[in-house]
Chain A
């Protein structure tokens, strides 16, 4: 089946940029998503990118997609303590309605 991988942990200092990486194996992806999950809560959609795009920017968030290498990243500029959470990348592939989730990256922002 589809395999979506992320590093488990990332720590950054407040004010620095965070880069969360994700790799996937299925080349028939149509959309790729980034979700944020705070403790005890559901998933909040942050942003998504269509698979024929290379980059998408939305305020402090920048998504980069390298389709050749099947690599997706989320950059958070000027990281704040409120950004501390688990970040999931997810892939939607052709022919499937559901999403395939990565393992999640726990971002810790150090004041």
Chain B
């Protein structure tokens, strides 16, 4: 149980285009979903926290107009990188949690974005 999927797993796009990444909790309802970014050989950096039906809470330094988050249902959150540039190239990982022992976060497999 507690499986989280992400789609796509890998995307290459041209500079200036927008890219949407989906995060789904497959067998549970996620009260909260998180979006992280990971640079090569570095740890995860939290970008934003989203609760179903409400606006996402962005971490300091993360541009909310650049990284649009929509949490439309208890099983789906989307991250849209708008007008992507090469510096947005990174590994984006989502996680989902629900209220139970540990309030554990279950992570998706990640999406590797390469902006040319």
Contact = CB atoms under 8 A, between A and B. Distances in A.
Interface of A: 31, 33, 35, 40-45, 48, 50, 88, 92, 97-99, 101-104
A97 B6 contact: no
A45 B106 contact: yes
A42 B110 contact: yes
Contact of B93 (A43, A45, A97, A102): A43
Contact of B32 (A44, A97, A103): A97
Contact of A42 (B43, B97, B102, B109): B109
A40 B104 contact: no
Instruction: Give the size category of B's interface with A.
Output: 20 to 34
Contact of A88 (B44, B103, B109): B44
B7 interface: no
Interface of B: 4, 6, 32, 34, 42-44, 46, 49, 93, 95, 97, 102-110, 112
Given A40-B112, A44-B107, A97 B43 contact: no
A42 B93 contact: yes
A34 B93 CA distance: 17
B104 A33 contact: yes
Most chain B CB within a 10 A radius of its CB, from A33, A41, A97, A102: A97
Given A97-B49, A104-B43, 8 more contacts: A31-B103, A35-B107, A41-B110, A42-B4, A42-B110, A48-B104, A88-B44, A97-B32
